[in-house]
Chains A and B, each alone.
Chain A
C-alpha cells in the first residue's frame, strides 16, 4: 500500500473515532450511517461483484436482529414471558448480564443468518437473472410475514430489546457504546471484503458476474463460490441487524426487521449510487445517500420520498454505473486502464 493511501485510511479512521465528540447531536445518525455502509457493502458482494441482484438480503438483517435479542433475553429470562409482558416492566438485566447476553447475541446474529444462507443457497443460487431477483424478493417478504406469526418473538406486535442496564452511565454512554460497535463493524466488514476481493475468490466472483457459463467451462465450481459469497454477506448483515435492533430498542417484523421497502431497497440504491462492483462505491454511495435522505428529512419534511424518487431517476439516467463508474469513465488512467506504449514494439515483432 502506498504512503498516500495509508494516510488516507488513517485520516478516515481518526474521523470515525472522534466523530461522536465533534457532532454529538448526530451520534445516532452517524451510527446508522456506518450500518448503512455495511448494508450496501454486503449487498454489493452479490449485486455488484457476483452479478446476482438480490432483493432478499434484508432477510439476513432481520434474522440477525431477532436472533441477537432473543438470545440476549433468553439467556437469563423466559423469552415468552418477556414478549408477553412488554419486556422492561417485568425484567431487568444487570450490567454483567447485559454485556454477556449482548456479546453472545451478536456473535450468533452473525452465525445463524450465515447458516441460513448456506442452507437455502444451493436451491436459490441456481436461479439466474430476473428469476433470482424475484425469488429473493419473495423470500424477504415471506420472512416478514412468518416473523409476524411467531408468538415467541412477539408476533405482529414486535418485541422490545433489553433496556440499557441501570447504574453504569445513562443514555449518553449507551449511544457512544453502540456508535463504536457500529463503527468497528463497518471497519471490519470493509477490511475483510477488501482482502477477499484481492484473493482469487474475488476474481471468481467477478468471473461469475461477467460470464458464468465460461467460468464453469474453465473448471470453476461456481455454485460453491456463490454460496460462500452469500454466507459472507449474511454474516456481516446479520450482525448489522443485531446492532440496529438494539439501537432502535424495538423490533417490528415488517417495518424494522424485514423492512424490504426501506432498508431492503436502500441497500440496493446505495450500492448503485456509489458504483456497484467496486470496493469504495458502496461506501461513498451509502454516505451520500444517508446525508441526502436525512437532510431532506430535516429541512423538507414531507418531500423526502419525492426527493428519493428523483434521486433514483437521476442515478439511473445520468450515473448508470454509479459515482465510481462515472469517475472511471472520466479518468480511466487513474484506474489503471492504460495502453502500454512502450511495448508497442514487442507487439510489432510478433506479427
Chain B
C-alpha cells in the first residue's frame, strides 16, 4: 500500500466536472509526476488532497488514515505538505523568519507558542537556505526576492517543516533554464537524502521525465494514462491530449 492512496475521487464545481473518478497511489519514497493540459484538474486534486475543499465522493488516505474530512492545518501536521503554483511566502518577513515560522511546531498547549525560538532552529534554517542557494540573501525581505528565488524559498520552507510527503505545484514554472537544472538536482536530493516522497505537477516535460519514476496524466478531469516516463512518452492518448487531436 502506498503512502498516499486516492480512491475514486469526484469533485464538481456546479456543472464543471473538475475531477471524475480519479484514483492514484504514490509509493513511499518515490517521485511521482502529475501532468495534463491546463484546466485538466491537477490543482483541484491537490486542493482536495490537502483539504482546501471537501470532495464530493471517494476517499483519500495518507499513511492509511482518511484525510479527506480533515481541515488544512491538521493534514499539514500529519506531514503532508503542498507548495503553491502562485508562490506564497511571507513577503514582509525576512528569509530567516520565513524559515523559522515554517518549522513544525509541536503544540503543548496554547502557551507553548510564547516560548522563545530556540537557537538551533536558526542553524537549521541557514543550512536549508544554503541548500537552495539563498543564504546570502537571508536578511532580505522575502517580498523583495525575485520570483524564482521566492520559489526556492518556498521549497526551503517546506523542507523546514520536515514533511513525509510534498506536493509540488509546478516547481519550475517561471524559473530560468539554467536554474531549472539546479532545482531538479535539489528535488532528487530532497527525495534521496531527506527521504521525502514527492508528487509533482509539472508542464515542463524535460523536467518531469528526468525526475519521476511514475507519471499520471489527467485530461478533462479524468485519468487518461499512467505509467513510467517511457510509456507516457509513447502513449497516443497523452500526445493527443497535449497536441489537441480529437
Seen from chain A, the residues whose Cβ lies within 8 Å of a Cβ on chain B are 196, 198-201, 203-204, 206-207, 209-211, 213-222, 224-225, 228, 277, 336-341, 343-344, 346-347, 350-351
Contacts and interface: CB of A to CB of B under 8 A. Distances in A.
A342 B133 CA distance: 14
B116 A346 contact: no
Contact of B93 (A200, A207, A217, A339): A207
A182 to B, nearest CB: 26
Q: Which has the most chain A C-beta neighbours within 10 Å: B131, B136, B182?
A: B136
User: Across chains A and B, which 10 residue pairs bring their CB atoms closest together, nearest first?
Assistant: A219-B76, A210-B90, A214-B88, A203-B101, A219-B77, A216-B72, A201-B113, A343-B136, A350-B133, A221-B73
Contacts of B131: 350
B97 interface: yes
A200 B105 contact: yes
Interface of B: 50, 72-73, 76-77, 81-82, 84, 88-94, 97, 100-102, 104-105, 110, 113-117, 130-131, 133, 135-141, 143, 157, 161, 182
Nearest to B75: A219
B143 to A, nearest CB: 8
28 contacts: A199-B115, A200-B101, A200-B114, A203-B117, A206-B92, A206-B93, A206-B101, A210-B92, A210-B93, A210-B143, A211-B90, A213-B88, A216-B72, A217-B50, A217-B82, A218-B76, A219-B73, A219-B81, A219-B104, A219-B161, A220-B105, A221-B73, A337-B94, A337-B139, A338-B139, A340-B139, A341-B136, A350-B131
A292 to B, nearest CB: 27
Given A200-B101, A203-B117, 8 more contacts: A206-B93, A207-B93, A219-B73, A228-B113, A343-B136, A346-B130, A347-B133, A350-B182
Contacts of B115: 199-200
A199 B100 CA distance: 11
A337 B102 CA distance: 20
Given A200-B105, A220-B105, A337-B94, A346 B117 contact: no
A210 B157 CA distance: 15
B117 A199 contact: yes
Contacts of B141: 337
A204 to B, nearest CB: 7
Given A210-B93, A224-B110, A346-B136, A198 B100 contact: no
Contacts of A224: 110
A204 B101 contact: yes
Given A203-B93, A206-B92, A337-B140, A217 B72 contact: yes
Contact of B114 (A199, A220, A347): A199
Given A204-B101, A207-B93, A218 B133 contact: no
Contacts of B139: 336-340
A211 B92 CA distance: 10
B207 to A, nearest CB: 18
